[in-house]
Amino acid sequence: MIVVMKPQASEPSIHAVTKYIEENGLQIHLSRGEEVTIIGIVGDKSRLSTENLRVFKDVDRIIPVTESYKLANRKFHPAPTTVKVGNTSIGPGNLTIMAGPCAVETQEQLLCIAREVKAAGATILRGGAYKPRTSPYSFQGLEEEGLKYMQEAKAATGLSTICEVVSLEAIEAAGKYVDMIQIGARNMQNFILLKEAGQSGLPVLLKRGLCSTIDEWLNAAEYIIAEGNPNVVLCERGIRTYETATRNTLDLSAVPVLRERTHLPIIVDPSHSTGSYKYVGPMARAAVASDADGLMIEVHNDPAHALSDGPQSLNFAKFTALTEELKPFCHLMGRSFHEQ
Chain contacts with ligand PEP (rule: CB under 6 A):
102, 128, 164, 184-186, 207, 237, 272
The binder of 207, among Mn ion, ligand PEP, none, by C-beta within 5 to 8 A per type, is ligand PEP
Q: Cβ of residue 238: shortest distance to ligand PEP, in angstroms?
A: 8
The binder of 166, among Mn ion, ligand PEP, none, by C-beta within 5 to 8 A per type, is none
| Nearer residue to ligand PEP within complex by CB, 45 or 186 | 186
| Nearer residue to Mn ion within complex by CB, 293 or 309 | 309
| Nearer residue to ligand PEP within complex by CB, 129 or 288 | 129
Q: How far is the C-alpha of 338 from the C-alpha of 340, rounded, in Å?
A: 6
Q: Cβ of residue 125: shortest distance to Mn ion, in angstroms?
A: 14
Buried b (16+ CB within 10 A) or exposed e, 50-70: eeebeeeebbeebeebebebb
Q: Cβ of residue 183: shortest distance to ligand PEP, in angstroms?
A: 8
Q: Give me the amino acid identity at 230.
A: P
The binder of 2, among Mn ion, ligand PEP, none, by C-beta within 5 to 8 A per type, is none
309 binds Mn ion per the rule CB under 5 A: yes
| Nearer residue to ligand PEP within complex by CB, 128 or 203 | 128
The binder of 236, among Mn ion, ligand PEP, none, by C-beta within 5 to 8 A per type, is none
The binder of 170, among ligand PEP, Mn ion, none, by C-beta within 5 to 8 A per type, is none
The binder of 185, among ligand PEP, Mn ion, none, by C-beta within 5 to 8 A per type, is ligand PEP
Binding-site size, Mn ion (CB under 5 A)? 2
| Nearer residue to ligand PEP within complex by CB, 263 or 272 | 272
Query: Secondary structure of the chain in the HEC alphabet?
Result: CEEEECCCCCHHHHHHHHHHHHHCCCEEEEEECCCCEEEEEECCHHHCCHHHHHCCCCEEEEECCCCCCCCCECCCCCCCCCEEECCEEECCCEEEEEEECCECCCHHHHHHHHHHHHHHCCCEEECECCCCCCCCCCCCCCCHHHHHHHHHHHHHHCCEEEEECCCHHHHHHHHHHCCEEEECHHHCCCHHHHHHHHHHCCCEEEECCCCCCHHHHHHHHHHHHHCCCCCEEEEECCECCCCCCCCCECCCCHHHHHHHHECCCEEECHHHHHCCHHHHHHHHHHHHHCCCCEEEEEECCCHHHCCCCHHHCECHHHHHHHHHHHHHHHHHCCCEECCC
Q: Cβ of residue 103: shortest distance to Mn ion, in angstroms?
A: 7
102 binds Mn ion per the rule CB under 5 A: yes
| Nearer residue to ligand PEP within complex by CB, 40 or 128 | 128
The binder of 184, among ligand PEP, Mn ion, none, by C-beta within 5 to 8 A per type, is ligand PEP
Q: Cβ of residue 202: shortest distance to Mn ion, in angstroms?
A: 21
264 binds Mn ion per the rule CB under 5 A: no
Residue 39 phi, psi dihedral angles, 5° rounding: -110, 110
| Nearer residue to ligand PEP within complex by CB, 178 or 185 | 185
- Where on the chain is the footprint of Mn ion (CB under 5 A)? 102, 309
